[in-house]
Structure 1
Amino acid sequence: MWGLVFLAPELVRGFGPLHLATGRYLCYGLLSLVLLAPRWRKVVPRLTRQQWVGIISLALIGNLLYYVLLSAAVQWGGIAMTSLVIGFLPVWVTIIGSRDRHAVPLRALTPSLVCCALGAFCIGWQVLAMPAPGVSLRHVAGLGCAVGALLAWTWFAVANSRWLARVQHVGVHDWNLLMGIVTGAMVVPLIPVAIVLDATPHTAADWWQFAAVVATLALLASIVGNGLWNRMSRLLPLTLAGQMILFETLFALLYGFLWEQRWPTGTELAAFAFLCLGVVSCVAAHQRHGRHR
């Protein structure tokens, strides 16, 4: 489901990153408010001020900032380049997670990390080795946005996992809905800004397509996808959960191939193999570690 966030900017290229983020998270906030309303009095009073600060920080960096940067990276640099950069996310999350108490040592995860790095390298090989003629500042800016998105979501993945371990009295679904409500509130002041900055004329059909895309992202990527991610983060150690982000990259590429109406190249197939091998290797390392504890 998260792979859709890479395709969405291509589906509505007439709308900028700020429009996409504002539309998606406004829908996310409204859906979250409706879904949490029946349990509002039970969930909200139990949250401390510190926990609200945590939710606000996660919403700002992991939702709003991340998706503005990701959308800009896709529109300015392309899906392949953006997937390459985000493909390194599991490496950083796994390295950070290996420092946790009782975590699988980094040495045991080396084969998995090597496979991840090779897979991520293969994903963008054609883009980096044979760039299109006339690489512009726009492409450089896209690369910068992709790196920024990588940093933002690395922080989010680690911080969110830490918070979920602390707030055992809050369900993973409710935690996601609370974050959705906060993110939705954050984008309300951005609506007039997005309108003022929009210099491109849009037809009614354009607006309907935009509404369909952001509503789909809100439901599938934010409500369902984030909820499943939270559930997994509470069940798995960070070193293993980080590897699961690889599937976002894989599906982002798959959707990209379908959009471009082509088959993957040999290099791209190699990337699939390396990334899948990395996940299998990581799971095996955790099984061995569990038997030896």
Structure 2
Amino acid sequence: MANNQQADTAGAIPLGMLCGAGAGALWGLVFLAPELARPFTPLQVAVGRYLAYGLLSVIMIAPRWKNLKRSITKKDWEALFWLSLCGNIVYYVMLSQAVQKGGIALSSLVIGFLPVTVTIIGSKDKGAVSFLALLPSLLFCLAGALCITWQAFDAPQAGSHSVSGFFCALVALVLWTAYAVGNSRCLVRLHALSVHDWNLLTGIVTGAQALLLSPVALLSGPLNYDAGTLGRFVAVSCAVAVVASIFGNALWNRMSRLVPLTMTGQMILFETFFALIYGFLWESRWPRPLEVVAFVCITLSVLTCVSVHHKHATRGRRAVDGLMENGV
């Protein structure tokens, strides 16, 4: 029986990694969207994406709404409001600003530190890995951050736009970290709602916020776009909503059930990897040396972090097994 379970686990991990890679490939397109919709302001890009996401979520959740609404508490709605505002609307405005000013490569490299920032916050939780054990990971993180900072400030091609893009990406990283931590803690306490329903509810709340911000978004840029430009904007908004928010999240949730928790953070590297590829293809260039070094440092930082957590979990299991063997 145990051998069959081990075989099932061994078979699930490759499939889980494929799902993680698929989610990363789809989420990486989010970094390309602001470039495809460059005539529009970051606020317009964010509102367009989340209006489409909200509409799709309403359509998908409508058949189950009568039964589902009884399971949603006031606390859930409050959490959904702040998570949607912080992790979707404001985050994507800052990310779009970072992409349009600093480029896809710089923005994706900064956001690539998400697993490390989340882990640092998580290290304060009871029973978590100690800060000292995370030091090697943090040193790699610092080295990568220095490379990105040098690229943004001192590289020959850098200018005021690159610097402002870098700071916008930093703000986006802080917002996405807050969202990841808050959303994770909400999912832990959810019992009556599935992960899929939580994703759709997030889409509905984000869509409502985007609708309220629509007048501001219209006034944030010129209104004299031709039909072709408007058509491309609508197509990009709908594509990002379907590809990233619906299918990307679905693949990520599937992956989360197939691989061990210690591997989940590592999978976010696929988003950075694909976003960089899309960025280099869009800009028709090879990665610069500092970008290569930064990506290597990010990878080593996340892998070191995962390794520490794996050893910590193994020691914990051995301790529990020892207590059980001693009859405690």
TM bracket, shorter-chain basis: 0.7 to 0.9
Q: Which residue of 1 aligns with 2:181?
A: 158
Q: Which whole-Å CA distance do the structure 2 matches of 1:173 and 1:23 have between them?
A: 22
Q: Which residue of 1 aligns with 2:243?
A: 220
**Is residue 4 of structure 1 aligned with residue 34 of structure 2?**
no
Q: Which whole-Å CA distance do the structure 1 matches of 2:139 and 2:256 have between them?
A: 23
Deviation, 1:231, is 6.0
Q: CA RMSD in A?
A: 2.5
Q: Which whole-Å CA distance do the structure 1 matches of 2:56 and 2:306 have between them?
A: 35
> 2:211 aligned to 188, 191, 198, which one?
188
Q: Which residue of 1 aligns with 2:140?
A: 115
Q: Which residue of 2 aligns with 1:13?
A: 38
- Structure 1 window deviating more from structure 2 (242-251 vs 39-48): it is 242-251
Deviation, 1:53, is 0.4
Q: Which whole-Å CA distance do the structure 2 matches of 1:185 and 1:236 have between them?
A: 35
The alpha-carbon distance between structure 1 residues 162 and 240, as it changes in their structure 2 partners (threshold 3 A), is: farther
Deviation, 1:247, is 3.3
**Is residue 142 of structure 1 aligned with residue 165 of structure 2?**
yes
Deviation, 1:158, is 0.5
Deviation, 1:244, is 4.1
Structure 2 residue runs without a partner (length 5+): 1-25, 317-328
- Structure 1 window deviating more from structure 2 (72-81 vs 14-23): it is 72-81
Structure 1 residues 16-95: aligned runs within 5 Å: 16-95=41-120
Q: Which whole-Å CA distance do the structure 2 matches of 1:109 and 1:44 have between them?
A: 42
The alpha-carbon distance between structure 1 residues 264 and 143, as it changes in their structure 2 partners (threshold 3 A), is: closer
Task: Determine what percentage of the aligned residue pairs are the same residue.
Answer: 54
Query: Contact 2:104/2:276 (CA < 8 Å) preserved in 1?
Result: yes
Question: In the comparison of the two structures, how many residue pairs are matched?
Answer: 290
Q: Which has the larger radius of gyration?
A: 2
Query: Contact 2:265/2:306 (CA < 8 Å) preserved in 1?
Result: no
Query: Contact 1:86/1:149 (CA < 8 Å) preserved in 2?
Result: yes
Q: Which residue of 1 aligns with 2:278?
A: 255
Query: Contact 1:84/1:121 (CA < 8 Å) preserved in 2?
Result: no
Deviation, 1:118, is 2.7
Deviation, 1:108, is 2.6
Q: Which whole-Å CA distance do the structure 2 matches of 1:132 and 1:106 have between them?
A: 37
Deviation, 1:227, is 4.0
The alpha-carbon distance between structure 1 residues 193 and 209, as it changes in their structure 2 partners (threshold 3 A), is: same
Query: Contact 1:80/1:123 (CA < 8 Å) preserved in 2?
Result: no
Q: Which whole-Å CA distance do the structure 1 matches of 2:117 and 2:151 have between them?
A: 23
Q: Which whole-Å CA distance do the structure 2 matches of 1:194 and 1:185 have between them?
A: 14
Deviation, 1:206, is 1.2
Structure 1 residue runs without a partner (length 5+): none
Q: Which whole-Å CA distance do the structure 1 matches of 2:254 and 2:181 have between them?
A: 14
Deviation, 1:143, is 3.5
Q: Which whole-Å CA distance do the structure 1 matches of 2:170 and 2:299 have between them?
A: 23
The alpha-carbon distance between structure 1 residues 219 and 20, as it changes in their structure 2 partners (threshold 3 A), is: same
- TM-score by length of structure 2 reads 0.79
Deviation, 1:123, is 4.5
Q: Which whole-Å CA distance do the structure 1 matches of 2:93 and 2:256 have between them?
A: 24
Q: 1:174-227: per-residue Cα shift (whole Å, max 9, x none)?
A: 100000001111111222332233316322221221112111110122122334
